[in-house]
Structures are given as structure tokens and as C-alpha cells.
């Protein structure tokens, strides 16, 4: 049985020097769900969820986070701290005329929704996360390494397991940025390739970046 596709609309919410672009579907007065993407994605990543939940009567919203897509891009590292990212989301919530929402995060969007739940529980109707447990960001990099499966990533060969790429970004930010900008098409193609079941139980490419 086929279902009609709920139309998705484009919007933007501006506050001073910052603009948050977002997609939305569903009735204006429906229960609000805000989907928060991670890296390297966009609001568009949630299009199927927006259409489905909008069709079910929810007001489904997905922003481009700061630095992504059509939202404001900043050049200073400190402009991407969680305090400011969370501030963007609360400003969006205000712009939508709502007191609270169900927040759903994926990847780097997950620490943002967890932070909203922790520090602004009055703005949460509920919270859900895909792939990043509560407290991961706060626990720090060493805690991630402690949880590496050493059956797949022997410490002698892969000291920080699958997280080697994160150290590369931290230690060689300029080089990483230059590599990304030199071949954007190849980068996107590599990041959004289809999964391969044959890779299960084998070291990920992210373990051998440096």
C-alpha cells in the first residue's frame, strides 16, 4: 500500500548575525519533533523522517546546523562550541513559537540534544539519540579509546582504534581541511558510500588515517 508524501517546505530563522535554515513538514500545530543532524550531513538527511512524521500529524523540523548548508558558517573554532550550538536550537524553538519539543539527534547532533536535555529540560518533551550514547562528549577522547574492541583493533597496531581520524583532525587540522577542500566530490563520495557487510569485524578505514 502506498502512502502520500507529505510536502517539505524550506524556511530560515534569523537572529542578528546568525541564520538557521531548516526544513519542515506537517501541520503547524502538530506535536513538534526537531531532528538534529551530525557530520557531514544536512537537514536533507532527515527528509524521509520529515515526510513520514509530517504525514502522521507531527510538526517535523530539521535544521542545517551552524557551519552546514544554508545556515551561517563561522571561521573560528570557538564558534562551534556546544553552548553556541545549543543556543541556536533554543532560538529556533522560540522562533517556532514553542516551549518544548521532542529532540532527535544523530552523530554530532546527539551531543547537542543530550546537552539540551541536561541543561534545558524545560525545553524537552522527549529526547532520542542515534549512535551516540549520553555523556560521550563529556567523557572525552580517552573514554572512547577505553571502549575500543581490541579483538578488532589490537593496541600495538591501532593505539586508538577506529578513532584515529579524530586525532588526525585535532593534530593536523590545517592539513585535514586542505585535503577536504582539494577534492570535495571525492570526499562526499567516500563519506556516503554504501555499507559493506563484508567489513563487519574488520578494522575501519578511520583507524589508519595518520
Number of structural domains the chain divides into: 2
Q: Residue 132 — very low, low, confident or very high, per pLDDT cuts 50/70/90?
A: confident
Q: Is 16 found in the same domain as 92?
A: yes
Q: Is 51 found in the same domain as 134?
A: yes
pLDDT in tens, 176-208: 989 889 999 998 888 888 888 988 899 998 999
Domain boundary among 89, 109, 138: 138
Domain boundary among 122, 138, 154: 138
> What ranges make up the beta strands (E) of the chain?
9-15, 18-25, 32-36, 59-63, 101-106, 124-130
Q: Is 172 found in the same domain as 109?
A: no
Phi-psi region of 16 (alpha: psi -120 to 50; beta: other; left: phi over 0): left
**What whole-number distance in Å separates Cα of residue 66 and Cα of residue 63?**
9
Q: What is the CATH number of the domain that holds 73?
A: 3.40.50.1820
Q: Is 94 found in the same domain as 32?
A: yes
With a pLDDT cut of 90, the percent of the chain lying above it is 75
Q: Is 129 found in the same domain as 34?
A: yes
pLDDT in tens, 56-84: 999 999 999 999 999 999 989 899 999 99
**Taking the CB of residue 172, how many other CB atoms lie within 10 A of it?**
14
> What ranges make up the beta strands (E) of 69-150?
101-106, 124-130
Q: Is 152 found in the same domain as 119?
A: no
In this structure, is the dihedral angle defined by the CA atoms of residues 28, 30, 31 and 36, taken in order, positive or negative? negative
Which one is predicted more confidently, 134 or 10? 10
Q: Is 20 found in the same domain as 53?
A: yes
Q: Is 105 found in the same domain as 20?
A: yes
Q: Is 40 found in the same domain as 24?
A: yes
pLDDT score of 1 more than 50:
no
C-beta of residue 107 within 8 angstroms of C-beta of residue 131: yes
Q: Is 108 found in the same domain as 10?
A: yes
Domain containing residue 174:
140-210
pLDDT score of 87 more than 80:
yes
Mean pLDDT of 19-39: 97
C-beta of residue 98 within 8 angstroms of C-beta of residue 58: no
Q: Is 147 found in the same domain as 132?
A: no
Q: Is 108 found in the same domain as 175?
A: no
Domain boundary among 93, 123, 138: 138
Amino acid at each position: 500500500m502506498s502512502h502520500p508524501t507529505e510536502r517539505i517546505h524550506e524556511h530560515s530563522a534569523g537572529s542578528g548575525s546568525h541564520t538557521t535554515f531548516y526544513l519542515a513538514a506537517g501541520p503547524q500545530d502538530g506535536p513538534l519533533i526537531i531532528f538534529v543532524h551530525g557530520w557531514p550531513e544536512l537537514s536533507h538527511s532527515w527528509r524521509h523522517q520529515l515526510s513520514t512524521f509530517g504525514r502522521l500529524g507531527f510538526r517535523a523540523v530539521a535544521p542545517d546546523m551552524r557551519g552546514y548548508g544554508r545556515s551561517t558558517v563561522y571561521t573560528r573554532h570557538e564558534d562551534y562550541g556546544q553552548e553556541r550550538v545549543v543556543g541556536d536550537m533554543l532560538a529556533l524553538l522560540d522562533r517556532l513559537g514553542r516551549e518544548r519539543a521532542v529532540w532527535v539527534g544523530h552523530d554530532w547532533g546527539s551531543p547537542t540534544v543530550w546537552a539540551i536535555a541536561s541543561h534545558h529540560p524545560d525545553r524537552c518533551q522527549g529526547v532520542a539519540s542515534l549512535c551516540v550514547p549520553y555523556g560521550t562528549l563529556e567523557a572525552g577522547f580517552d573514554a572512547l579509546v577505553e571502549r575500543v574492541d581490541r579483538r578488532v583493533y589490537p593496541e600495538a597496531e591501532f593505539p586508538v582504534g577506529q578513532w584515529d581520524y579524530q586525532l588526525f583532525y585535532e593534530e593536523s587540522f590545517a592539513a585535514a581541511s586542505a585535503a577536504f577542500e582539494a577534492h570535495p566530490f571525492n570526499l562526499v563520495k567516500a563519506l556516503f558510500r554504501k555499507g559493506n557487510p563484508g567489513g563487519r569485524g574488520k578494522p575501519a578505514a578511520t583507524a589508519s588515517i595518520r
